[in-house]
Amino acid sequence: MNTSTNPRALGVLRAIGIVVLAVGLGGCWSRLPSGCPPACVAAQLGGRDLSGVDFAGVRLIEANLRQSDLTRANLSGADLSGANLQEARLRGADLTDARLIGADLTKATLVGAVLNRTDLTGATLNDADLTSIDLTRGVSLDGANLFRTVLVGARLSGVNLRAFRCWGADLTMADLSRAQLNGGWMSASDLHGANLTGADLRGTWLNLADLSGANLRAANLDGTWQVGARLTGAILAEATLRGAVLVGTNLNGADLRGTDLTGARLQATDDFTDRDRLRQLIDDPAINSLSDAEWSALEIGDARLSGAQYDDLTVWPRPVSVQEVNQ
Amino acid sequence: MTSAGSGLRPGVRLSGPLATVLAVALALLSGCDSPLAGPGCPPACVGVKAIGANLTGENLARVNLSGANLADANLRNANLYQAILVASNLTGADLVDANLTRADLSGAQLRDANLTGVALRDARLSGADLTSATLTRVVLTGVALDASVLVQTRLVGAVLQDANLNGAHMADCYLSGANLRSANLVGADLTNAIIRGAALRNAQLNGAQLRDTSMASADLSGANLEGADLTGADLSGALLTNARLGRANLTNTDFSGADLSGADLSGTRMYGTILNGAYLQGATMLGAAFVPPDGTEDAALAAEAHFGGVTYDANTVWPQGFLPPTSASTAAEAGSR
């Protein structure tokens, strides 16, 4: 009798022992701390390999996910508000309906991430990599900072991004057609080859921006500041640039057919020779951080227009001689 | 049978160390006795000293912890329902996901405390010091916050709808994405606060200190900002339809791309104000000053206002003698928004 019960009791004991050891060791080796998910609020998950982990609907508020690998992780419906996602790898992650209010995504990689109705209100995306990202599907970027963000080939067509704060961003070949960007802070950003057809850029800061080869057909650029900007070979046909400041802007080879330049400033006046005054006027870190040598290299002078195309419908701010354009 | 018996022998030998492992594991899992143990405590723990105590998941409902020293205590998931924490010291305490429903935290020290995910319904925080505390996404509706200190407090995405924050100290407060609809912030000090993309519809901010605040894309429609100091504030892309800004100081304020249609901007100081790409349909700027008078301190500091590409209409009231710049267009010209 005893011999038949003892082995069973010992077996149970051994099983419990194995479970306890497994839990103990697993706790050390697991990719996730015990209890997370579902209790991941303020969880310390920095630097972990969380690739492919299912965090759907999980509360990760104020979680530390710095430098963590969230490649292809399922974060749909997750709350990542206030989370630290600096240098996090979110390649191919699903962020559908995710909340990232005030989250810090500085230097994070979001290439191939799925953003549907993602709430990025007040988030920081400085230096983040958003190459080819699609931001057209109900993504909120209200008050988000996108300084120096890589948005190469990003899709932003028709998106309302009033006062878009993307100073120094790389928007090469991005699709910004019909986007609302008025009052934006886009100085020093790279927009070469970008599609800005019909975009609303009224009063946008575009100082030192590279718009060479960009398509700005029928775009509204009224009151923009484009001091020292490059618009070589840009298509500005049917665009309006009324009252725009184009001092030191390179418009060589630009298409200005049917462009309205009423009241635009093409010549460097005293205002623009006094650098301190200009810096004060523009209040732009790109301008403020320039060394004297870099400043001199910019040759902020009159706008350059050689080889620009124009026609009878082009409205000049003042009589421009044919010689001036075709020199 | 013999082979089975010999097979069991290692198991019998292992049972000794196994039992030790089990005992240690059980001891670790069960935890020690409550660090609050004292005569009659809990529930009567007035002035108890439990600095750095581990009270994770502890049930402290209705416990009187007035004047208790719980600095750096771990109160994660603790049940503090209706607990009395008046004038307690919770500096640096971890209160993540704790239940503070109906708790009284009046005059409590909550500096650097982590209150992320706490339930605070009908709780009292009157006169509490929440300097540098974290309250991300916490619902504070109906919470008494009078005379509380919210300097450098993290309130990202927090719900403060209808909250009474009259005269509150909220400098350097982090309020991005917060819900402050119809909140009373009359005379509050929000200097240098980060309030990006927050909802402030119909909020009362008259006489508030909003110097150098970052309020990009915030919804301030119908808000009262009369006499507020918005010097150097960032209101780019903000929604300010029908907002009242009369007599406000708007020196170097950034309204790039902001919607100011129907807003009252009369009698404001608009030295160096940036209005590029802003909507000014039906806005009133009667008696607003765009250029500082010569010889004044303002004249040396501030530039002229920027009006690049603004939209206006027949109902826009400009200051006397002001002509809209070439780049400005009427609502009809600009077409639909």
Report CA-CA distances (Å) from A149 to A145, A186, A208.
9, 11, 16
Question: Measured between CA atoms, how close is A221 to chain B, in angstroms?
Answer: 8
Determine the Cα–Cα distance for residues B280 and B303; give it in Å rounded to an integer.
21
CB contact (8 A) between residue A17 and residue B14? yes
Show the 3-state SS of chain B: CHHHHHHHHHHHHHHHHHHHHHHHHHHHHHCCCCCCCECCECCECCCCECCCCECCCCECCCCECCCCECCCCECCCCECCCCECCCCECCCCECCCCECCCCECCCCECCCCECCCCECCCCECCCCECCCCECCCCECCCCECCCCECCCCECCCCECCCCECCCCECCCCECCCCECCCCECCCCECCCCECCCCECCCCECCCCECCCCECCCCECCCCECCCCECCCCECCCCECCCCECCCCECCCCECCCCECCCCECCCCECCCCECCCCECCCCECCCCECCCCCCCHHHHHCCCCECCCCEECCCCECCCCCCCCCCCEEHHHHCCC
B65 is written with which tokens? Answer: 């912890």
pLDDT < 70 regions, chain B: 1-35, 37, 294-303, 334-337
Angle (deg, nearest 10), helices B2-30 and A2-29 = 50
Q: What share of chain A is helix, strand, coil (3-state, %, to 5)?
A: 15, 15, 70
What rounded mean pLDDT belongs to chain A? 87
pLDDT at position B7 is 40
CB contact (8 A) between residue A243 and residue B11? no
- What is the chain A residue with the closest CA to B259? A162
CB contact (8 A) between residue B303 and residue A140? no
A65 is written with which tokens? Answer: 């996910």
CB of A288 within 8 Å of a chain B CB? The answer is: no
> Which of A60, A80, A118, A142 would you mutate first to test chain B, the one with the most B CBs within 10 A?
A142
pLDDT at position B293 is 75
CB of B300 within 8 Å of a chain A CB? The answer is: no
CB of B136 within 8 Å of a chain A CB? The answer is: yes
B41 is written with which tokens? Answer: 């405590």
CB atoms within 10 A of CB B113: 30
Determine the Cα–Cα distance for residues A257 and A240; give it in Å rounded to an integer.
11
CB atoms within 10 A of CB B61: 17
Residues 207-266 of chain A with CB under 8 A from chain B are 220-225, 242-245, 262-263
Determine the Cα–Cα distance for residues B93 and B41; give it in Å rounded to an integer.
20
**For residues A269-289, average pLDDT:** 58
**Contact criterion met (CB below 8 Å) for B144 and B168:** no
Report CA-CA distances (Å) from A115 to A141, A165, A260, B196.
11, 19, 38, 20
Determine the Cα–Cα distance for residues B91 and B48; give it in Å rounded to an integer.
15
Residues 137-156 of chain A with CB under 8 A from chain B are 140, 142-145
- Among A27-41, A72-86, B185-199, the minimum mean pLDDT is found in A27-41
Residues 17-36 of chain B with CB under 8 A from chain A are 18-19, 21-22, 25
Question: Measured between CA atoms, how close is B152 to chain A, in angstroms?
Answer: 14
**Contact criterion met (CB below 8 Å) for A62 and A83:** yes
Nearest residue, CB atoms, B156 vs list A16, A102, A225: A102
Q: Three-state DSSP class for A181?
A: coil
User: Residue A285: pLDDT above 70?
Assistant: no
CB contact (8 A) between residue B196 and residue A225? no
**Contact criterion met (CB below 8 Å) for A236 and A259:** yes
H helix runs in A159-204, sequence order: none
- Tell me the per-residue pLDDT of B28-85, one tens digit each, with 9 for 90 and over: 444 445 667 677 888 899 999 999 999 999 999 999 999 999 999 999 999 999 999 9
Q: Which amino acid is at B262?
A: G
CB contact (8 A) between residue A144 and residue B196? yes
CB of A99 within 8 Å of a chain B CB? The answer is: yes
pLDDT at position B320 is 82
Residues of chain B contacting A280 with CB distance shorter than 8 Å: 303
Residues of chain B contacting A143 with CB distance shorter than 8 Å: 176-177, 196-198, 214-218, 237
CB of A203 within 8 Å of a chain B CB? The answer is: yes
Residues of chain A contacting B309 with CB distance shorter than 8 Å: 182-183, 202-204, 220-224, 242-243
Residues 307-336 of chain B with CB under 8 A from chain A are 307-311, 325-329, 334
- What is the chain B residue with the closest CA to A205? B276
pLDDT at position A33 is 83
| ipTM (interface pTM) | 0.85
* Percentage of chain A exceeding pLDDT 90: 65
pLDDT at position A202 is 95
CB atoms within 10 A of CB A284: 20
User: Residue A187: pLDDT above 60?
Assistant: yes
- What is the chain B residue with the closest CA to A262? B326
- Tell me the per-residue pLDDT of A118-137, one tens digit each, with 9 for 90 and over: 999 999 999 999 999 999 99
CB contact (8 A) between residue A101 and residue B326? no
Nearest residue, CB atoms, A162 vs list B196, B257, B306: B257
- Tell me the per-residue pLDDT of A287-322, one tens digit each, with 9 for 90 and over: 556 666 666 666 677 888 888 999 999 998 876 655
Question: Measured between CA atoms, how close is B266 to chain A, in angstroms?
Answer: 22
